[in-house]
């Protein structure tokens, strides 16, 4: 049984918490390892410490140690193969032993790895021997970094499918169009001779043929033509008489055109069309098109929906006004029976179909209350704090004005409600007192005084 020690690094920095897997060498068999000298089994694989320093004990033999993961990451990992553990191996006692290593004489000395310098070198100081192996660059020999390994690994591994170390470029003429042909270690660029069916290069024979064709014509102007002998001559009626076939001229062409409103043809041959207005036909201008397109094609109403709203489809507007109801959030009041939901506050008198108006006001404070003429119909006294209440009838009443005063709290026996007219009497008395719990009085003005008509 022997202990294995190793510190994991990646281009210089230690690799924290690497994953360590120990195999029987040359196999995929997980080896039995221990935390100590054969007593406490150790998990395999196991995660190394943040220092990157790993260890395990195993029986004498050969082992493969696979290192993966960690921070910084080891990528696909790397393997230390054929590690020999043998606790029977020992150093001979010898005579003198080493007294100095690279000029250092400390009894305990340490080897560490570094990346300083421009070439591989060993630096010894104190009790530490530093093996400096810098990262290789264009000017520095050294170890290959993971980044450079990735770069080199990504370089071209084949050319057009060929992987031979030495490859050749050649010229051919096969095929019907230019194309590359790659086989074995040769890349052939096939350039066929151009023809009616081939795309390719121009042959010497074709070049001679094409070169012998008519050269470009030079000279002349728009009033001339090319004669049969290849010369340029002026084209006019003296050279080529018109006869019955008249030549084209701008004037003749323009004279052949005419237009009927809104189309007009000028003397210069310009054809135009006027814009339409309310007084003349013509073309529709862009501005008018936009105006007409934005107009509403129709407006209709219906009683659908749950609130007053409007919708538009293809220029047609539909106004939705449903009848008010319990499930309708907003709607119209009709002349038929309707059920309404929610609290409704009316600021004026409610007029019934028979012409009657009823307005109920609740009085909750202990102060006196004055009946508002022409507005209040019923005053319900329901005080939050028990107290007697004076109810002042309106001044300047009109014959037929009728009001009801009600004890809504039910304590009028202890806290009387006293009806007091602004002028005149109530059934000949200066006041009228409600002294029965939940009692009420309905009074009407007869033109000179108030009369109790119900209690």
pTM, full prediction: 0.28
On whether both 147 and 180 belong to a single domain, the answer is no
On whether both 37 and 71 belong to a single domain, the answer is yes
On whether both 334 and 378 belong to a single domain, the answer is no
Domain C-terminal end among 284, 315, 343: 343
> Can you spell out the DSSP letters for 233-284?
EE--TTTS--TTSPPP-HHHHHHT----TTEEE-TT--EEEPBP-SSS--BP
The enclosing domain of 367 has a CATH number of 2.60.120.640
On whether both 22 and 63 belong to a single domain, the answer is yes
Does residue 218 form part of some domain?
Answer: no
Full strand arrangement of the beta sheet holding 360-363: 360-363, 378-381, 402-407, 440-445, 450-454
On whether both 398 and 424 belong to a single domain, the answer is yes
Does residue 271 form part of some domain?
Answer: no
Does residue 239 form part of some domain?
Answer: no
Does residue 212 form part of some domain?
Answer: no
User: In 10 A of CB 217, how many CB atoms?
Assistant: 10
On whether both 337 and 367 belong to a single domain, the answer is no
Does residue 280 form part of some domain?
Answer: no
Strands (DSSP E) along 13-160, which ranges?
16-24, 33-34, 41-42, 46-47, 53-58, 61-71, 78-85, 110-114, 121-125, 128-132
On whether both 335 and 354 belong to a single domain, the answer is no
394 neighbors 370 (Cβ within 8 angstroms): yes
User: In 10 A of CB 434, how many CB atoms?
Assistant: 22
| Nearby residues of 56 by Cβ (< 8 Å), 6 or more positions away | 3, 4, 20, 22, 33, 34, 35, 42, 46
On whether both 423 and 403 belong to a single domain, the answer is yes
On whether both 167 and 196 belong to a single domain, the answer is yes
The encoded tokens of residue 216 equal: 């470009």
Domain C-terminal end among 143, 170, 200: 200
Domain residues for the domain of 77 are: 2-85
Does residue 97 form part of some domain?
Answer: no
On whether both 52 and 115 belong to a single domain, the answer is no
For residue 14, the cross-strand partners are: 9
Q: For the chain, 455 residues long, give each residue's pLDDT as a single digit of tens.
A: 889 998 877 666 788 899 999 999 999 999 999 998 888 999 999 999 988 899 999 999 999 999 998 888 887 888 889 899 887 765 444 455 677 888 888 888 999 999 999 999 999 998 899 999 999 999 999 899 999 998 888 877 788 888 888 899 999 999 999 999 999 999 999 999 999 999 999 999 999 999 988 777 767 787 788 877 777 888 777 777 777 877 778 888 887 788 888 888 887 778 888 888 888 888 889 998 888 888 888 889 898 988 888 888 877 889 889 888 888 888 888 888 877 777 666 655 555 554 555 688 999 988 899 998 878 889 999 999 889 999 999 998 999 899 999 999 999 999 999 999 998 899 999 999 999 999 999 999 999 999 999 98
Does residue 410 form part of some domain?
Answer: yes
* Alpha-carbon separation of residue 350 from 333, 346, 358, 377 (angstroms): 14, 7, 6, 10
Name the residue with tokens 């395990």: 56
Domain C-terminal end among 50, 70, 85: 85
358 neighbors 378 (Cβ within 8 angstroms): yes
SS3 152: helix
Name the residue with tokens 């195999």: 23
State how far the Cα of 354 lies from the Cα of 338, in Å rounded to an integer: 18
For residue 257, what pLDDT is reported?
81
406 neighbors 371 (Cβ within 8 angstroms): no
On whether both 355 and 442 belong to a single domain, the answer is yes
On whether both 417 and 354 belong to a single domain, the answer is yes
How many structural domains is the chain composed of?
A: 5
For residue 233, what pLDDT is reported?
80
403 neighbors 376 (Cβ within 8 angstroms): yes
Does residue 25 form part of some domain?
Answer: yes
């Amino acid at each position: 049984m022997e202990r294995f020690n190793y510190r994991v690094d990646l281009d210089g920095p230690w690799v924290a918490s690497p994953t360590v897997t120990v195999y029987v060498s040359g196999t995929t068999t997980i080896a039995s390892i221990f935390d100590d000298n054969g007593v406490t089994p150790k998990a395999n694989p196991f995660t190394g410490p943040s220092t990157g320093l790993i260890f395990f004990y195993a029986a004498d033999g050969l082992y493969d140690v696979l290192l993966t993961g960690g921070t910084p990451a080891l990528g696909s990992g790397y393997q230390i193969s054929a590690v020999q553990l043998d606790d029977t191996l020992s150093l001979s006692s010898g005579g003198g032993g080493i007294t100095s290593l690279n000029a250092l004489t400390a009894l305990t000395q340490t080897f560490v790895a570094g990346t300083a310098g421009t070439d591989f070198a060993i630096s010894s100081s104190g009790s530490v021997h530093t093996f400096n192996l810098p990262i290789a660059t264009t000017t520095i020999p050294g170890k290959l970094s993971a980044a450079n390994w990735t770069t080199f690994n990504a370089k071209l591994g084949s050319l057009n499918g060929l992987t031979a170390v030495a490859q050749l470029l050649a010229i051919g003429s096969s095929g019907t169009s230019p194309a590359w042909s790659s086989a074995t270690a040769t890349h052939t660029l096939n350039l066929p001779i151009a023809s009616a069916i081939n795309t390719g290069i121009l042959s010497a024979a074709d070049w001679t043929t094409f070169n012998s064709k008519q050269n470009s014509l030079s000279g002349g102007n728009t009033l001339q033509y090319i004669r049969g002998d290849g010369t340029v001559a002026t084209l006019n009626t003296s050279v080529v008489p018109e006869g019955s076939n008249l030549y084209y001229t701008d004037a003749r062409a323009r004279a052949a055109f005419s237009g009927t409103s809104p189309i007009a043809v000028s003397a210069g041959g310009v054809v135009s069309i006027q814009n339409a207005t309310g007084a003349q036909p013509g073309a529709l201008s862009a501005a008018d098109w936009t105006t007409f397109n934005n107009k509403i094609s129709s407006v209709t109403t219906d009683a659908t929906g749950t609130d007053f709203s409007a919708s538009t489809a293809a220029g047609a507007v539909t106004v939705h006004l449903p009848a008010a109801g319990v499930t309708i959030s907003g709607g119209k009041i009709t002349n038929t029976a309707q059920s309404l939901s929610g609290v409704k506050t009316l600021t004026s008198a409610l007029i019934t179909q028979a012409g009657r108006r009823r307005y109920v006001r609740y009085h909750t404070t202990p102060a006196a209350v004055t009946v508002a003429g022409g507005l209040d119909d019923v005053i319900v006294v329901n005080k939050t704090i028990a107290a007697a209440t004076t109810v002042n009838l309106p001044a300047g009443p009109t014959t037929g004005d009728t009001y009801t005063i009600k004890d809504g709290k039910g304590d009028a026996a202890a806290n009387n409600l006293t009806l007091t007219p602004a002028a005149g009497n109530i059934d000949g008395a200066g006041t009228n007192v409600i002294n029965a719990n939940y009692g009420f009085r309905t009074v009407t003005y007869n033109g000179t005084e108030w009369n109790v008509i119900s209690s």
